[in-house]
Structure 1
Amino acid sequence: MMLRPRQREFVTRSIEALRLHGNTLGVAPTGSGKTICLSGTAGEFLTHPDAKACVLAHRDELTAQNRSKFSRVNPGIATSVFDSHQKSWAGQATFAMVQTLVRNLDQMPTLDLLVIDEAHHCAAPTYRQVIDKTLARNPKALIYGVTATPNRGDGKGLREVFSNVADQIRLGELIRSGHLVSPRTFVIDVGTREALDWVKKLAEDYDMNAVASIMNNAPVNEAVVRHWKDKAAGRKTIAFGATVAHAEAVRDAFLAGGVAAAVVHGEMSEADRKATLAVFETGTTTVLVNVAVLTEGYDYTPTACIVLLRPSSYKSTLIQMVGRGLRVVDPAEHPGVVKTDCIVLDFGTASLKHGSLEQEVDLDGFETGGEAPTKTCPACDAEIPQASRECPLCGHLFEREETGDEKAALEDFVMSEIDLLKRSNFSWCDLFGDDCALLAAGFKAWAGVFFLEGRWYAIGGHGTVPVRLLGVGERTVCLAQANDWLNDLETDDAAHKSRRWLSEVPTENQLRYLPPALRGDFGLTRYQASALLTFRFNKHAIQRVVHAANQHHLEAA
């Protein structure tokens, strides 16, 4: 597989920081391909056959997922697993569960590189034991961490482990590149804002019982339902309540308003939680109200509305909650679902406290390559990316003067898209010169985006695999899904931008199969001819898939 250009930059900066400092942290949120970046960086330090690395995670599913993606990025590097089921250090890269490893540290070999996935956990005692043992065995061992949310809920910084931040992919980059949908935030005061401002903080967050005493009453809950119907009716919705009683009351208000709703919380059994989530995902439940159980690790991509019914002490928590609704939809998994944005209804004022999510993701500038500018955090002396408004290591907030526009209506969110046609690993051909049909081809696969009746469709083909629908909706999102299809199936050798045949003349065989009108086009290149022939040979299949998807959407609407 191939890395996206932005992922390559992340890997390059991580490698440089590790060589310079001996440790570094990379911040990569939902949708960035964090595991791919982690794998690309680790693979660089395992080119020597005697080099040894351990990739640390805290859940079985993360260990398996990391190993699988690592092998796709680095197919020539042997891997092994050290967890409760198997304990092997045979591979150059070993994927370990921290809970198991910390009980068997005497078995851990000398490491050249320790990689910590979800690195915000590294302040925990178990992680520190592994880190300390690694450095005791080899003081020159490199420590590399990757996380989406570096600022912990308990306020502990990561400065004791990491002296610098190599790179930080921002949500705005992923939205502009089509790898996440755009959030549209509405901060709504239902007469509780002033009272919420007086709620005290406890050890890790606001006093949620105090929040519930303000938010959990019939007029407020009815207003929540009313505003949801006005701005997000019918959307799959995840709401975040303050307490179990609050969540149940909000659920009852939705039910009374004729909206199918349910509750999940930590006091439920695992079986009950799974059953409730299953009903939400199969379509029966529209609104799912939760209490601190869906903040991270749950991604049901058709979710297109987030309702915040509680404040948040940390911006990372706010981003995690909103992130549940930002992932794009795979039409193969969810036929007929078209998602172009995510409505965020904030009744708990978290957006006002932290600066709305739009401000967070609307970057002052976007680095497209080269050396990343940095600055020094005045609170902990860490070297961090220039664009950071909050130090990922200690949480220090950098002051930023708000303009009148930023203080205005929060629902207005304008984002200029990143031109994926220029940043793609592949050369994209405008098949008919009208920007309504674009196609790129590799050695094994091809992908195209096509416009029909106000909507874009991403289509992909691969060998004998039937032509399939990759995405439906906005142009940028479809281009991103088509690009990822090619990146996933091709290797670096197939990136046609660097290949000679981009500008060579068509072959005789190509000209034989092209329409007569194109045979006399003396500006036609060999690659353009290949793209045109790919479309011609797959035209009927493409039309069938696009029209079927369009009809499915019309029927669903």
Structure 2
Amino acid sequence: MLLRPRQKDFVERSLVALKANGNALGIAPTGAGKTILFSEIIGQYITGTKAKTLVLAHRDELTEQNQTKFSWVNPSIATSVYNSKTKDWSGQVTFAMVQTLFASDNISSMPKIDLLVIDEAHHAAANSYRTVINHALALNPSCIIFGVTATPNRSDGKGLREVFSQVSDQISLGELIRSGHLVTPRTFVIDVGVKNQLSSVKKSGADFDMSAVDQIMNQRPINNAVVDQWLEKGESRQTVVFCSTVQHAEAVTEAFRNRNVLAETITGQLSSADRSNILDRYARGDVTVIVNVQVLTEGWDHPPTSCVVLLRPSSAKSTMIQMVGRGLRTVNSEQHPGVIKSDCIILDFGTSSILHGTLEQDVSLDGVETEGVALTMTCPECAAVVPLASQECPMCGYDFRTERDKDTPELVSSIEMMEINLLNRSSFEWVNLFSDHSAFISAGFDAWGGVFFYQGHWYSIGGKKGVNPKVLSVGKHINALAAADDWLNQNETEDAAHKTKAWLTEEPTEKQISILENHLKLDFSLTRYEASAHITFKLNKQKIIDIIAEQGTD
């Protein structure tokens, strides 16, 4: 497997920070490949040693998912699981559920840990995590601690400074959108006549007083207006709605149903079986709109979701980003055949975008390059070392614009205008097959990837030895390129990429020339690699046509 160039930077910077400081926090949002990243970091850190590693997560499903992906990245490293079903410390890397390990009769069984990795590390300030962390340090004061999270700032205001002294790297949502690994958000801030009332709601504990929000937002005319706006702008997309209270969610669900929209409510009051049943129906497409209260903010994804409705304000920007992130994932066309997703519509009735800045502003502020050396600065509030491009401190929330350009209006520009050409950032060379730029192919030794434009959409196709080509994604050019590039990364190696690029200056072989189309045989500037790409297309052309035609009829 080959990491994306940006993933390589993240791994290298995190390893440097760990060796220098003994701890580090890495920030990697939805779409960055968080589990792949920390798996690679662990693999590089412990390979060739007897170092014992513990990976903490807050749900049983995550411990098992993390173990599966880790073994994919590091097949030669022994693993084990310690959760409510299995209690096994035998692996060099153990994946544990924190609530299970936290219990006194369980934590006493924990062996000496050399590397402690915390998934969803914004939970690290919680008592259960601190108990495990402190126990690990008591057993081994030299224990290295690494955390990874998408949203480090907690809504309760508790900082992570007591656990982590440095942010090793921060991949922004903007980077992932511009590289095609997340879709573009289109945000609409909608005032239904209660903006001033919402702005006066006070905090109650870690967030705004949701009972007060309910009194303002949960009115029949407002709920009907929400459905009107969704019908106009949401385009009947699969949608997740975030409400303030259970009563609010039920009323909104009823408003959708009154307009013949298939909608369901999910709250913490439902049993896990009932929640699972509703989510399964949503995943099958039997439900169009799913309305929830604090259930789907974190740890849940259904990639075909392409509309998010915010009917509550968020005191923490991280909560807003988590909610919006439910709709930003790209779609794997093999898993979701016939689904075409090129963007995500955000309908914000709850003023979060006004309070925190629209998501477009958040992800496209300054275009700071993140490749090469990660320049850092020290937060004047909590003294954490953070990346120079940070808008706010990931540890304490300090706004750096107070020191730089907070009084300067930010320019809201189209994210599409800021797309970074993935062709120049791939580990592989992409060949433009036709003069109209409608088809590109990159060919490795064991696999190939291609993107093809047809009837307004870009189709990403992947193939490899012994396996029929398959569609990877359908949507915008940049998202299709990202999917094809990831396919190559998963099926080729660093060595293969290096050897492939050696062909860029070599002439085609006699055998290649004999296979090429006639018009290409006279192209004396053609390299061996370009010839390979054209031949790959020729040999798979009919399969590619059939795949695209089949996808278009689903």
Question: Does the pair score TM above 0.5?
Answer: yes
SS of the residue aligned with 1:127? helix
Residue 117 (str. 1) matches residue 122 (str. 2): no
SS of the residue aligned with 2:248? helix
Between the aligned partners of 1:245 and 1:61, the Cα distance in structure 2 is: 30
C-alpha change, 1:17 and 1:433, in structure 2 (3 Å) is same
Amino acid at match of 2:70: F
Would the aligned equivalents of 2:365 and 2:410 in 1 still touch at CA under 8 Å?
no
Deviates more, 1:366-375 or 1:451-460: 366-375
- 1:436 aligned residue (438, 445, 448): 438
Residue 66 (str. 1) matches residue 66 (str. 2): yes
Amino acid at match of 1:172: G
Amino acid at match of 2:406: E
Amino acid at match of 2:31: G
Amino acid at match of 2:123: H
- 1:470 aligned residue (466, 472, 475): 472
1:40 matched to which residue of 2?
Answer: 40
C-alpha change, 1:414 and 1:403, in structure 2 (3 Å) is farther
Amino acid at match of 1:132: N
User: Please, what TM-score do these two structures have when normalized by structure 1?
Assistant: 0.95
Between the aligned partners of 1:86 and 1:64, the Cα distance in structure 2 is: 11
Between the aligned partners of 1:105 and 1:236, the Cα distance in structure 2 is: 43
Between the aligned partners of 2:91 and 2:260, the Cα distance in structure 1 is: 56
Q: CA deviation at 1:243?
A: 0.9
Deviates more, 1:67-76 or 1:470-479: 67-76
Amino acid at match of 1:229: L
Q: CA deviation at 1:98?
A: 1.9
Between the aligned partners of 1:350 and 1:451, the Cα distance in structure 2 is: 37
Between the aligned partners of 1:300 and 1:100, the Cα distance in structure 2 is: 27
Between the aligned partners of 1:259 and 1:84, the Cα distance in structure 2 is: 39
Between the aligned partners of 2:367 and 2:241, the Cα distance in structure 1 is: 32
- 1:366 aligned residue (365, 368, 390): 368
Between the aligned partners of 1:370 and 1:404, the Cα distance in structure 2 is: 29
Q: Deviations over 1:176-233 (max 9, x none)?
A: 0011111111111111011111111011111111111111112211211111122113
SS of the residue aligned with 2:187? strand
Would the aligned equivalents of 1:496 and 1:502 in 2 still touch at CA under 8 Å?
no
Amino acid at match of 1:269: S
Would the aligned equivalents of 2:307 and 2:327 in 1 still touch at CA under 8 Å?
yes
Between the aligned partners of 1:111 and 1:169, the Cα distance in structure 2 is: 28
Q: How does 1:90-489 map to 2 (within 5 A)?
A: 90-103=90-103, 104-399=106-401, 400-401=405-406, 406=411, 414-489=416-491
Q: CA deviation at 1:334?
A: 1.9
Between the aligned partners of 1:102 and 1:152, the Cα distance in structure 2 is: 21
Residue 510 (str. 1) matches residue 512 (str. 2): yes
Q: CA deviation at 1:155?
A: 1.5
Q: CA deviation at 1:125?
A: 1.8
Would the aligned equivalents of 2:185 and 2:360 in 1 still touch at CA under 8 Å?
yes
2:82 matched to which residue of 1?
Answer: 82
1:555 matched to which residue of 2?
Answer: none
Cα RMSD (Å) = 1.8
C-alpha change, 1:222 and 1:413, in structure 2 (3 Å) is farther
Between the aligned partners of 1:391 and 1:401, the Cα distance in structure 2 is: 14
C-alpha change, 1:323 and 1:415, in structure 2 (3 Å) is farther
Deviates more, 1:43-52 or 1:233-242: 43-52
Q: CA deviation at 1:127?
A: 1.4
SS of the residue aligned with 2:94? strand
Deviates more, 1:395-404 or 1:78-87: 395-404
C-alpha change, 1:450 and 1:402, in structure 2 (3 Å) is farther
Between the aligned partners of 1:511 and 1:160, the Cα distance in structure 2 is: 64
Deviates more, 1:331-340 or 1:373-382: 331-340
Between the aligned partners of 1:321 and 1:397, the Cα distance in structure 2 is: 22
Deviates more, 1:323-332 or 1:76-85: 76-85
Q: Deviations over 1:280-308 (max 9, x none)?
A: 22223222211111111111111111111
C-alpha change, 1:76 and 1:281, in structure 2 (3 Å) is closer
Q: Deviations over 1:141-186 (max 9, x none)?
A: 2110001111122211100000010011100000000111111111
Q: CA deviation at 1:102?
A: 3.1
Deviates more, 1:349-358 or 1:386-395: 386-395
Would the aligned equivalents of 2:430 and 2:440 in 1 still touch at CA under 8 Å?
yes
Deviates more, 1:119-128 or 1:363-372: 363-372
Q: CA deviation at 1:82?
A: 2.5
Between the aligned partners of 1:277 and 1:84, the Cα distance in structure 2 is: 23
Would the aligned equivalents of 2:445 and 2:500 in 1 still touch at CA under 8 Å?
no
Q: How does 1:513-528 map to 2 (within 5 A)?
A: 513-528=515-530
C-alpha change, 1:29 and 1:405, in structure 2 (3 Å) is closer
Would the aligned equivalents of 2:253 and 2:265 in 1 still touch at CA under 8 Å?
yes
Deviates more, 1:430-439 or 1:99-108: 99-108
Deviates more, 1:517-526 or 1:151-160: 517-526
Would the aligned equivalents of 2:377 and 2:387 in 1 still touch at CA under 8 Å?
yes
Between the aligned partners of 1:368 and 1:524, the Cα distance in structure 2 is: 34
Q: Deviations over 1:381-408 (max 9, x none)?
A: 00011121221111222334365564x8
Amino acid at match of 1:471: S
Q: Which runs of 5+ in 2 are unaligned?
A: none
Between the aligned partners of 2:151 and 2:486, the Cα distance in structure 1 is: 24
1:21 matched to which residue of 2?
Answer: 21
C-alpha change, 1:100 and 1:502, in structure 2 (3 Å) is same
Deviates more, 1:87-96 or 1:319-328: 87-96
Q: CA deviation at 1:429?
A: 1.0
Between the aligned partners of 1:149 and 1:497, the Cα distance in structure 2 is: 39
Between the aligned partners of 2:184 and 2:255, the Cα distance in structure 1 is: 28
Would the aligned equivalents of 1:173 and 1:366 in 2 still touch at CA under 8 Å?
no
C-alpha change, 1:84 and 1:276, in structure 2 (3 Å) is closer
Between the aligned partners of 2:289 and 2:181, the Cα distance in structure 1 is: 25
User: What is the percent sequence identity of the aligned residues?
Assistant: 58
Q: CA deviation at 1:112?
A: 2.0
